[in-house]
C-alpha cells in the first residue's frame, strides 16, 4: 500500500496518515494510510457501507476528517484549502444536473464556473453525447445522464491547469460497455498526464481496463 | 464577479424553466391580494385602511415561500458539493442566490405592488412610499432569508424551522414598512423610516452573505 | 352521430366545406347587428348611449359561458369515449372562451364606471366571471405545461370538468345573492323583460358572436390537425 | 380500507418525521396571523372587523402551501409507480392523501382557530361559526387541492400552475366561510351558508378522489 | 428469441407482439417481439438510451404501449389490468425509499400494502441488512439503499401468491459482489418456482451468475 512513502522531504502525489472518519456518531474507518504517486490510479473496493464514498469525500475536503491528515506533495491540504479545491475533480453517486436545462447548458455552466475552456464540444464528443447536447436532461436515460456528468472530467482535462486529483465514486454506474471504455480512456489520458485518480468500484469492466495503471485498496481492512 | 453573474444567470434560467418554484412568489402575492377582499368583505372603507399592511404581509409570506428550496435542489443533487469545490467562494454563492431570489420574487413584487394598491383603493399619496419601502425592504428579506435557508438545509422539519427562524428577523422590517406607509397616508415625513430600512439593507448586505456561507459550510458533509 | 366525424380527415373535409359559409354568415350578422346596435335602436331613458355597451357585453357573456360548457362536454367525450377530436376541440375553444371573458370583464368595467360609479366591485357575479377567466387561463396553461401534449390534454380535460361547477354559479349568482348587477331579463323562464327595439340588435349580436365562435373553432381545429400531421411527417422522415 | 389506513398512517409518519412539509401549514397559519396585526396596526376596532376573513385567507394559503408536494415526493423517487402497481386503487390513494393532508393541516388549523379568534378580539358569537366553517371548509380544501396537486405533477412551473388552478376553486369556499362568520357577528342565521359548505364538502368527497385518480393515471408514464 | 411461440392455444409466460414505444414524440423501439417461458430469465442489454427501461415500464403497465400488445399466457394484459398489476414486481432505477423512515419501516409499508407476509425479517436477512433495520434510510450508503429496495423482491417471494413476473431495471447497481450473489440467488429461487424475470443489465457478475437460466435479448436491433 505504501508506495512512495519514506523520503518525506520530496513526497509526490497524495498521502494520508492515520485518517479517520466519523459519520452520524459512528466511526466509519480509522487509521487509514494510503499513498499514491502521480500517474497512478487507485481502485478502492470494499463491501457496501465500508466507507468508500466517505473516504472520497474526506479527500475532496467535503467531509471533515475525524483524525489524521491528508497530504498533497508532503503538505497538509487543510493549510491551503483553496489550492486543494482547485486540484480536485469530484464525481459522486448523484448526478449534479438540472433536469430542466439541456445537457449542453448543464456542462457549459460548470465549465464557465470552474474557468475551464468554454468550448464543450470535445467533451461531449469524448462521451458520445453530441446528439443529446440540446435535449433537456429530464429526458435522458440513466446512462445518458451519467455520461453528461462524466463529461465534466473531459472539460477539465481539455483545459490547461485542470484538476490533477480525480476522486470518482463508482463512475461507471449505469454505463454501457462502450461508455465504460470512453471513461477508461479519459482516465488513462489523465494518468499519462501525471494525474492522480482514486476510483471506488465493485469490480467490472472499468477495473479490467485500468488494471495496468492502478493499485488496489480494500477498505475492508480499515473498517472501524 | 464573473462567477457571481454566472450563478445569478443560472438561477434565473432555472426559475424561468420552472426548475425552481421562485415564480411562485409573485403568483402567491397577487392571489393572496385578490383573496383578501373576499375574506374581509368588499367594504370600500376598510380596504384602503388595511391595504398597505396586507400587501406587506403577503410580500413577506411570498418571500418566505420560495426560500425553503433556495439551496435544497443543489444540496440534493450534489451540485452544492461542486459549487463548494469551484473557485467561487461560498460567500459569493450566498450573495448570488440572494440576488437571484430577489430578482425572481422581490422585483416582481415591487412591480406588482402599485397594481395592488389600485385594487385596494389606497390613497395616491401612498403609492410612492409603498414602492420605496418595497425597493428597500424586499432585498433585505432575500438576504436574511438566505441565512435561514442555509441554516435549515437538510434539517428535519426544515420548513417549519425556517419560518420560526425568520419570523423574528422579518418583523422589524415589517414594522417600519407598515409605519412608513401609514405615515405617508397621514401626511407625515417618512424619511426616518426609509433611512432605517436602508440601514437594515446595508447591514444585511454586509453580514448575510458571510453568515450564509458559514451555514452552508456546515451543510456540506 | 359524433363518430361520423371521428376521422380527422373527414372532419377536415367537412370543415373546409362549412368554413366559407360560416365566415360569410359571421360577417353579415356582425354588419346587421352593429347597424341595429348603433343606429337603429333607442338610447336608454336612464343610461343614455352607454346602454349600447350591452350589445357587446351580453352576447360575449353568453359565449364565455357557452364556450366553457362546450369545453366541458368535449372533455367528457375525451375522457370517457377517448374521441380523437375532442381534445383538439377543447384546446381550440379555450383561448376563444378566454377572449370572450376578457370582453365581458372590460365592457362590464367600462359600463360600471358611469352606472355604478366604480370600475370594479367584489360582487358575486363579477367574481364568478373572474373565476371563469382564471379557469380558462388554468386550462390553457395546463394544456401547454407538459412536454407530452397528450398528458396536457388529459389533465386539462379533468380540470374542465371540475371547473364546470362554476357555470351555474355565474348564471344564478344574481338570483342567489342580491348584488349591484342586473338580474337576467332575457334568459329567464317567463317572458323577456326587455324592449323589442333593444331585443333585435341583442339577438343579432348574439348570433354573430356564435357564428364567429364556430368559424374560429373550425379554423383553429384545422390548423391544429395540420400541425400534428406535419410533425408526424417530419418524424417519419427522420427515421 | 386497510390500504387506506396504511397510506394515511404512512403520510402522517412522514409528516411527523419531517419528510414532507405538511406541518408547514399550521406554523404558517399561526405566523401569518401574528404578522397581520403588525402590518395592519394593532387597532382595536379594525382587527375584530377583519379577523374572520384574515383567518380564513391564511388557512387557505396554508392549505395551498403543503399541497405542491402532496404527490411530488412519491413521483420523484418512484414510489408512485409502486403505489399504482399495488392492490390499492388510485382513488383510494387520492382519498388517503387528502385525508392525511387534512389531518396535518386542516385539523390543526381547526384547533388553532379559536386561539386566533381570541388574538383578533373576535366577538364571542363568532367562535362557534368560525370553528364550524373550518370543520366544513378545510376538508374541501384538501380534497380539491389533491386534484390540483395531481394535475400539475411533473408540469413545467408546477407551483405557479397549482396556485392558478386552485385559486378559482377555493374562492367559493372562502366566500361562504367569510359570509357565515360575518353573518354570525351580525346576528343572522348562518344555516344556509353552513348547508352550502356542507354541500361543497359532499360534492368534493364524491368527485375529488375520482378526478385526482384520473389525473394521477396521466402522471405515471 | 421466439421460444414457445407457435401453439397460441396454450402459450405460457410472457409474449409481446410488434410492441412499440413512444417517449416525448420520439419512437424508442418498434416491432418488438419477445417470448419468455416460466422458469426462465431474460437479460436485456443494449447501449444507453436504447429503451431497456422504457420496455420494462411498458411491460409493467406503467407506460402505455404505442402499438402492439403484451400477452400473458396468451391473453392481452390490458384486458385484466388488476390481474396484471398483481403479477408484476418492478424495480426501477430509483430507490422508492423514504429517507426519514428506517429500512424496516420502509419495507414493512410495502409488505402490508401489497398484502405480503408482514414478517420482514427473512427478507432483511436475505440481503444481509438486518443490522441496518432500524437505521433511517437517510444514513445508508448507496449500496445499502439498493439492498433495501431489492429486499422487496424477497418479501413477495416469501409470501404465497407473490408476483410471478419480475421486471428488474439494472438491479445490481451499486451492489458489492456479495450482494450481487444474494440477488442472483433470490432470482434463481424465483425461477425455480416457475417465475419469470426480465432484467436489464450492462454485463457483469449478475449476468454470469444467471447465465444458465437466462436468454439474452439485445435492444439494439429494435431501435426505432
Ligand atoms: C366587469 C363587470 C361585469 C361582469 C363580469 C358582468 C358579467 C355579466 C354576465 C356573465 C352576464 C350574463 C348573464 C346571463 O346571461 O344570465 C351579464 C349580463 C348583463 N349585464 Fe353584466 N357584467 C358586468 C358589468 C355590468 C354593468 C356595469 C352593467 C350595467 C349596469 C351590466 C349589465 C348587464 C345586463 C343588462 C345584462 C343582461 C342581463 C340579461 O338580460 O340576462 N353588467 N353580465
Ligand atoms: N420521460 C421521457 N420523455 C422523453 N424521452 C425519454 C423519457 N425518458 C427516456 N426518454 C428517451 O427514451 C430513450 C430510451 O430511454 P430508456 O431510459 O428506456 O433507455 P435505457 O435503455 O434504459 O438506457 P440506460 O442504459 O441509460 O438506462 C432515450 O433516448 C431517452 O432519451
Ligand atoms: N450522512 C450520513 N450520516 C450518517 N451515517 C452515514 C451517512 N452516510 C453514510 N453513512 C454511513 O457510513 C458508512 C459508510 O458509508 P459510505 O457511503 O461511505 O459507504 P460506501 O463504501 O460508499 O458504500 P457503497 O458501496 O454502498 O456506496 C455506512 O455504514 C453508512 O451507513
Ligand atoms: Mg458509496
Ligand atoms: Mg435505463
The domain of E46 spans 41-62+81-216
Contact C239 E26 (CB under 8 A): no
Q: Looking at chain C, which residue has its C-alpha nearest residue D219?
A: C151
All three cell numbers of D152, joined, read 400539475
Residue E34 lies in a domain: no
- Structural domains in chain C? 29-40+49-186+194-230 (1.20.120)
Quote the pLDDT of residue E224.
Answer: 62
Among A25, A28, A32, residue to substitute to test ligand 3 (most atoms within 8 Å of Cβ): A28
Quote the pLDDT of residue A7.
Answer: 44
* pLDDT for A199 beyond 70: yes
* pLDDT for C177 beyond 60: yes
Give the residue among D150, D144, D104 at the shortest CA–CA distance from D10: D104
- Chain C closest-CA separation from residue E52 CA (Å): 20
Name the percent of chain A lying above pLDDT 90. 75
Average pLDDT over residues C153-175: 87
> Tell me: the pLDDT tens digits for B4-46?
999 999 999 988 776 445 566 666 777 777 777 777 766 667 7
> Tell me: the pLDDT tens digits for A34-65?
999 999 999 999 999 999 999 999 999 999 99
Confidence of residue A4 (pLDDT cuts 50, 70, 90): very low
- Residues of chain E where predicted confidence (pLDDT) is lower than 50: 1-9
All three cell numbers of C19, joined, read 368554413
How far apart CA E88 and CA E196 sit, in angstroms, is 10
- Residues of chain D where predicted confidence (pLDDT) is lower than 70: 18-25, 41-44
CA A65 to ligand 3 center in whole angstroms = 14
Residues paired with E198 in a beta bridge: E42, E167
- Chain D closest-CA separation from residue E100 CA (Å): 6
Contact E175 A202 (CB under 8 A): yes
How far apart CA E175 and CA E147 sit, in angstroms, is 7
Quote the pLDDT of residue C236.
Answer: 58
Q: Is the CB of A158 under 6 A from ligand 3?
A: no
Ligand nearest to the CA of E23: 2
Give the distance, in angstroms, between the CA of residue C141 and the centroid of all CA atoms in the same chain.
17
Q: Looking at chain A, which residue has its C-alpha nearest residue B93?
A: A113
Whether residue E98 lies within 8 A of chain D, CB to CB, comes out as yes
**pTM reported for the whole predicted model:** 0.88
User: Which are the contacts of D42, defined by CB distance < 8 A and separation ≥ 6?
Assistant: none
Confidence of residue A224 (pLDDT cuts 50, 70, 90): low
How many domains are there within chain D? 1
* pLDDT for B214 beyond 70: yes
Q: What ipTM was predicted for this assembly?
A: 0.87
Pairing of strands A41-45, A214-218: parallel
Whether residue D34 lies within 8 A of chain B, CB to CB, comes out as yes
* pLDDT for B93 beyond 70: yes
Quote the pLDDT of residue C193.
Answer: 57
Residue E17 lies in a domain: no
Name the percent of chain B lying above pLDDT 70. 91
How far apart CA B165 and CA B169 sit, in angstroms, is 7
B-interface mutation test, from C122, C123, C141, most B Cβ less than 10 A away: C122
Cβ neighbours of D28 in B, within 8 Å: 61, 163
Ligand 2 atom 1 nearest Cα: A139
- Chain A and chain C share a number of CB contacts under 8 A equal to 3
* pLDDT for C189 beyond 50: no
Give the residue among D132, D74, D135, D101 at the shortest CA–CA distance from D208: D101
- Chain A and chain E share a number of CB contacts under 8 A equal to 80
Residue A204 lies in a domain: yes
User: Residue D161: which of C142, C162, C165 has the nearest Cβ?
Assistant: C142
Indicate the range of B97-111, B197-211, D111-125 predicted with least confidence: D111-125
> Tell me: the pLDDT tens digits for E121-134?
999 999 999 999 99
Residue A135 alpha carbon, nearest atom of ligand 2: 31
Residue A32 lies in a domain: no
Contact E174 A173 (CB under 8 A): yes
CA E175 to ligand 4 center in whole angstroms = 10
Ligand 3 atom 16 nearest Cα: A51
Contact E27 C231 (CB under 8 A): no
Q: Looking at chain C, which residue has its C-alpha nearest residue D211?
A: C158
Average pLDDT over residues C84-100: 94
Confidence of residue B164 (pLDDT cuts 50, 70, 90): confident
Among E95, E139, E180, residue to substitute to test ligand 3 (most atoms within 8 Å of Cβ): E139
Residue A72 lies in a domain: no
Residue A113 lies in a domain: yes
Average pLDDT over residues C83-110: 94
User: Residue A98: which of B14, B81, B83 has the nearest Cβ?
Assistant: B14
- Chain A closest-CA separation from residue C37 CA (Å): 52
Ligand 1 atom 38 nearest Cα: C184
Confidence of residue B181 (pLDDT cuts 50, 70, 90): confident
Pairing of strands E67-72, E75-76: antiparallel
Q: Is the CB of A24 under 6 A from ligand 3?
A: yes
Q: Looking at chain A, which residue has its C-alpha nearest residue E136?
A: A24
User: Which are the contacts of A104, defined by CB distance < 8 A and separation ≥ 6?
Assistant: A120, A124, A133, A134
Contact D151 C159 (CB under 8 A): yes
Q: What is the DSSP secondary structure assignment for residue C181, as one 8-state letter?
A: S
User: Which are the contacts of C217, defined by CB distance < 8 A and separation ≥ 6?
Assistant: C89, C92, C93, C96
Length of chain D: 221
Quote the pLDDT of residue B24.
Answer: 63
The domain of D151 spans 2-220
Residue A157 lies in a domain: yes
Mean pLDDT of chain A: 90
The C-alpha cell 435492444 sits at E219
Task: Give residues (CB < 6 A) around ligand 1.
Answer: C 54, 57-58, 61-62, 104-105, 108-109, 111-112, 115-116, 125-126, 129, 170-171, 181-182, 184-187
How far apart CA A16 and CA C127 sit, in angstroms, is 70
CA E201 to ligand 5 center in whole angstroms = 9
Q: SS in 3 state form for B46-113? A: HHHHHHHHHHHHHHHHHHHHHHCCCCHHHHHCCHHHHHHHCCCCHHHHHHHHHHHHHHHHHHHHHHHH
Quote the pLDDT of residue E6.
Answer: 42
Contact E203 A177 (CB under 8 A): yes
Quote the pLDDT of residue C99.
Answer: 97
* pLDDT for C58 beyond 80: yes
Quote the pLDDT of residue B7.
Answer: 95
Residue D131, SS3 per DSSP: helix
Residue E8 lies in a domain: no
Chain C residues contacting A, CB < 8 Å?
147
Quote the pLDDT of residue A3.
Answer: 45
How far apart CA E4 and CA C169 sit, in angstroms, is 62
Ligand 2 atom 26 nearest Cα: A143
* Strand ranges of the sheet holding A67-72, from the earlier edge strand across to the other edge: A26-36, A14-23, A67-72, A75-76
Residue C111 alpha carbon, nearest atom of ligand 1: 27
Average pLDDT over residues C174-183: 68
> Tell me: the pLDDT tens digits for A137-177?
988 999 999 999 999 999 988 887 889 999 999 999 999 99
Whether residue E135 lies within 8 A of chain C, CB to CB, comes out as no
Mean pLDDT of chain C: 84
How far apart CA E156 and CA E110 sit, in angstroms, is 10
Contact E174 A46 (CB under 8 A): no
Quote the pLDDT of residue C11.
Answer: 85
* pLDDT for C188 beyond 80: no
The C-alpha cell 443489465 sits at E201
* pLDDT for C191 beyond 60: no
How many domains are there within chain A? 1
Give the distance, in angstroms, between the CA of residue D149 and the centroid of all CA atoms in the same chain.
12
Amino acid at each position: 500500500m505504501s508506495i512512495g512513502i519514506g523520503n518525506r522531504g520530496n513526497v509526490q502525489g497524495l498521502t494520508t496518515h492515520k485518517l479517520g472518519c466519523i459519520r452520524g456518531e459512528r466511526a466509519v474507518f480509522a487509521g487509514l494510510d494510503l499513498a499514491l504517486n502521480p500517474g497512478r490510479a487507485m481502485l478502492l473496493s470494499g463491501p457496501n457501507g465500508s466507507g468508500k464514498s466517505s473516504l472520497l469525500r474526506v479527500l475532496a475536503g467535503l467531509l471533515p476528517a475525524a483524525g489524521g491528515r491528508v497530504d498533497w506533495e508532503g503538505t497538509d491540504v487543510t493549510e491551503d484549502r483553496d489550492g486543494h479545491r482547485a486540484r480536485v475533480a469530484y464525481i459522486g453517486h448523484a448526478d449534479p444536473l438540472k433536469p430542466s436545462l439541456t445537457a449542453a447548458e448543464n456542462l457549459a455552466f460548470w465549465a464557465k464556473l470552474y474557468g475551464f475552456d468554454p468550448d464543450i464540444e470535445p467533451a461531449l464528443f469524448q462521451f458520445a453525447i453530441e446528439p443529446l447536447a440540446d435535449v433537456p436532461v429530464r429526458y435522458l436515460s440513466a446512462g445518458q445522464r451519467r455520461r453528461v456528468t462524466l463529461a465534466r472530467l473531459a472539460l477539465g482535462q481539455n483545459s490547461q491547469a485542470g484538476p490533477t486529483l480525480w476522486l470518482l465514486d463508482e463512475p461507471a454506474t449505469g454505463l454501457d460497455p462502450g461508455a465504460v471504455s470512453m471513461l477508461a480512456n479519459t482516465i488513462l489520458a489523465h494518468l499519462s498526464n501525471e494525474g492522480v485518480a482514486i476510483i471506488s468500484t465493485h469490480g467490472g469492466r472499468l477495473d479490467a481496463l485500468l488494471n495496468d495503471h492502478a493499485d488496489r485498496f480494500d477498505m475492508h481492512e480499515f473498517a472501524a | 464577479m464573473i462567477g457571481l453573474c454566472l450563478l445569478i444567470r443560472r438561477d434565473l434560467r432555472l426559475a424561468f424553466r420552472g426548475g425552481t418554484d421562485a415564480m411562485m412568489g409573485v403568483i402567491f402575492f397577487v392571489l393572496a391580494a385578490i383573496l383578501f377582499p373576499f375574506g374581509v368583505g368588499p367594504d370600500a372603507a376598510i380596504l384602503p385602511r388595511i391595504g398597505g399592511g396586507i400587501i406587506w404581509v403577503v410580500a413577506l409570506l411570498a418571500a418566505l415561500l420560495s426560500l425553503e428550496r433556495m439551496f435544497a435542489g443543489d444540496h440534493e443533487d450534489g451540485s452544492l458539493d461542486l459549487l463548494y469545490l469551484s473557485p467561487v467562494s461560498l460567500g459569493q454563492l450566498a450573495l448570488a442566490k440572494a440576488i437571484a431570489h430577489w430578482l425572481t420574487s422581490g422585483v416582481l413584487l415591487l412591480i406588482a405592488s402599485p397594481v395592488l394598491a389600485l385594487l385596494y383603493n389606497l390613497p395616491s399619496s401612498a403609492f410612492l412610499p409603498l414602492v420605496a419601502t418595497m425597493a428597500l425592504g424586499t432585498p433585505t428579506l432575500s438576504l436574511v432569508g438566505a441565512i435561514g435557508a442555509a441554516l435549515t438545509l437538510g434539517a428535519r422539519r426544515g420548513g417549519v424551522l425556517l419560518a420560526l427562524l425568520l419570523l423574528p428577523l422579518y418583523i422589524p422590517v415589517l414594522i417600519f414598512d407598515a409605519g412608513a406607509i401609514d405615515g405617508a397616508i397621514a401626511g407625515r415625513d417618512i424619511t426616518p423610516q426609509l433611512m432605517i430600512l436602508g440601514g437594515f439593507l446595508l447591514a444585511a448586505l454586509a453580514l448575510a452573505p458571510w453568515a450564509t456561507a458559514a451555514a452552508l459550510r456546515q451543510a456540506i458533509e | 352521430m359524433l363518430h361520423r366525424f371521428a376521422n380527422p380527415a373527414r372532419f377536415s373535409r367537412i370543415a373546409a366545406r362549412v368554413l366559407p359559409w360560416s365566415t360569410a354568415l359571421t360577417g353579415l350578422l356582425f354588419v346587421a347587428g352593429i347597424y341595429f346596435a348603433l343606429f337603429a335602436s333607442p338610447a336608454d331613458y336612464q343610461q343614455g348611449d352607454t346602454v349600447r355597451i350591452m350589445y357587446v357585453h351580453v352576447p360575449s357573456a353568453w359565449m364565455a359561458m357557452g364556450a366553457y360548457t362546450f369545453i366541458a362536454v368535449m372533455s367528457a367525450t375525451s375522457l370517457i369515449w377517448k374521441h380523437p377530436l375532442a381534445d383538439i376541440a377543447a384546446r381550440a375553444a379555450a383561448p376563444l372562451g378566454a377572449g370572450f371573458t376578457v370582453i365581458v370583464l372590460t365592457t362590464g368595467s367600462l359600463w360600471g364606471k358611469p352606472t355604478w360609479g366604480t370600475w370594479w366591485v367584489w360582487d358575486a357575479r363579477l367574481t364568478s366571471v373572474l373565476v371563469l377567466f382564471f379557469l380558462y387561463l388554468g386550462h390553457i396553461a395546463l394544456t401547454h405545461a407538459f412536454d407530452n401534449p397528450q398528458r396536457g390534454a388529459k389533465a386539462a380535460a379533468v380540470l374542465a370538468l371540475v371547473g364546470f361547477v362554476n357555470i351555474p354559479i355565474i348564471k344564478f349568482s344574481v338570483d342567489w345573492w342580491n348584488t349591484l348587477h342586473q338580474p337576467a331579463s332575457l334568459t329567464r323562464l317567463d317572458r323577456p323583460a326587455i324592449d323589442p327595439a333593444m331585443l333585435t340588435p341583442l339577438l343579432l349580436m348574439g348570433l354573430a358572436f356564435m357564428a364567429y365562435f364556430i368559424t374560429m373553432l373550425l379554423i383553429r381545429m384545422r390548423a391544429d390537425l395540420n400541425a400534428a400531421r406535419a410533425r408526424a411527417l417530419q418524424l417519419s422522415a427522420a427515421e
